[in-house]
Amino acid sequence: MTIKENFELAKQAYAKWGVDVEEVVEKLKNVPISIHCWQGDDVAGFEVNQNELSGGIDVTGNYPGKATNAEELRSDLEKALSLIPGKHRVNLHAIYAETNGEVVERDQLEPKHFENWVNWAKENGLGLDYNPTLFSHPKADDGLTLSHPNEEIREFWINHCIGSRKIGEYFGRELGTPALTNIWIPDGYKDIPSDRLTPRKRLKESLDKIFAVETDKKYNLDAVESKVFGIGSESYVVGSHEFYLNYAMKNDKLCLLDTGHYHPTETVSNKISSMLLFSEKLALHVSRPVRWDSDHVVILDDELKEIALEIVRNDALNRVIIGLDFFDASINRVAAWTIGTRNMIKALLYAMLVPNEYLKQLQEEGNFTERLALMEEFKTYPFGAIWDYYCEKIGVPVRESWLEEVKAYEQEVLLKR
């Protein structure tokens, strides 16, 4: 049976439940995923004076072939993008600036240092997102940045964040799609603090200064990302969930929820509906924590499907900005991007193929037997046939055939580095 024949059969199975598969496929094409550039080089960046990765995050593995400069990283991204259906975005960090061998301090970075990225994004029809980098830097060595007791250090990072928002605005203006500029800081303490309030007060003041500078919302959207703990900040993180949730609500900023940044039995899928009731937009870092915030490659697990279902069934595809955040150096990095991003898209497709309105109705009627029965049955509906058809229609490799391309790229490009 051909992919098309399989698709036709599957289409009938879904049509029985009122799901218009052709419509779903058209809709899915327009959902962008923000692909994080940092999977390609283990969050190293290309600063002239490169610092070791810090901030309580860690990349393990030494798979050969990581990108060592911006051209290599773009080439690797292009390879991955050619294997991923749809039009997407690339998420950059300040450490990916191109300064022509010149040392440029982070608070001095300007749009011109990202010109190559912007030209490349234009050529490839991509949107860009951005992040100031408040780690892997001598001024972050104390584990404190925007909440540091030393005013000079705080000022440095405040200026970096202001400059970053201007770079985000530049991306948005050039590319005709607003950039999400997301602030994540590592600030926290290894051991039990004697004062939780003062650092949070300083973080609040720093953020106020950062956002006092206006950027155009048409081009730049500001987000803040919370965390529960990091390596070396096990006992206390200044920018906790409650901190940023309140800050974002009061100051009209976006909350960014990273799926690895909550207590182990808490799920981001269960937070989305509450967030959507109180803010217009919400941002995600979809990741996969294994026992800790380990940033494993995203797989098509129950939580990923549940996140997708919450976005789709609440009609929030235009309100939830979906970004990825994982970094695995123990496998081929182009494959890591491809696997994780294809899975995110697969999860959205899966969610779009469920008769969500009918299932909602069952719940309203108190018919929990049928709700459970159908939710379980839909798990084995022929969604793979629709996925294969989608890949074929868009012109990316079907099923595992993308792997051959990654293997060839590894031989021809990655292993020669």
**What residues numbered 312-331 form the site for Zn ion, per CB under 5 A?**
325
Active site residue 137: no
Contact between 57 and ligand RNT per CB under 6 A? yes
Contact between 137 and ligand RNT per CB under 6 A? no
Report the candidate in 116, 250, 257, 109 with the shortest Cα–Cα distance to residue 180: 257
3-state secondary structure of 298: coil
375-378, long-range: CB < 8 A, 24+ apart: 378/353, 378/354
Q: Which residues have C-beta within 8 Å of that of residue 270, sequence separation ≥ 6?
A: none
Contact between 310 and Zn ion per CB under 5 A? no
Report the candidate in 352, 359, 340 with the shortest Cα–Cα distance to residue 390: 352
Residue 385, contacted partner among Zn ion, ligand RNT, none, CB below 5-8 A by kind: none
Interface residue with ligand RNT, options 258, 328, 388, 405 (CB under 6 A): 258
The CB density around residue 281, as the number of other CB atoms within 10 Å, is: 17
- CB-nearer residue toward ligand RNT: 57 or 391: 57
Name the strand (E) or helix (H) holding 256.
strand 254-258
Contact between 131 and ligand RNT per CB under 6 A? yes
Residue 72, contacted partner among Zn ion, ligand RNT, none, CB below 5-8 A by kind: none
Instruction: Write the binding mask 91 to 130 for ligand RNT: x where contact by CB under 6 A, - elsewhere.
Output: ----------------------------------------
The token pair at 122 is 């234009």
The least distance separating Zn ion from the CB of residue 293, rounded to whole angstroms, comes to 9
Q: Are 317 and 354 in contact (CB under 8 A)?
A: no
Residue 333, contacted partner among Zn ion, ligand RNT, none, CB below 5-8 A by kind: none
Contact between 295 and Zn ion per CB under 5 A? no
- CB-nearer residue toward ligand RNT: 7 or 184: 184
Q: Are 327 and 39 in contact (CB under 8 A)?
A: yes
Q: At what angle do helices 241-251 and 197-212 cross, to 10 degrees?
A: 30
Q: Are 334 and 377 in contact (CB under 8 A)?
A: no
Interface residue with ligand RNT, options 19, 24, 25, 43 (CB under 6 A): 43
Q: For the chain, what is the radius of gyration of the CA atoms?
A: 22
The catalytic residue positions are: 184, 225, 227, 258, 261, 285, 293, 295, 325
Contacting positions for ligand RNT (CB under 6 A): 38, 43, 57, 131, 184, 225, 227, 258, 285, 293, 325
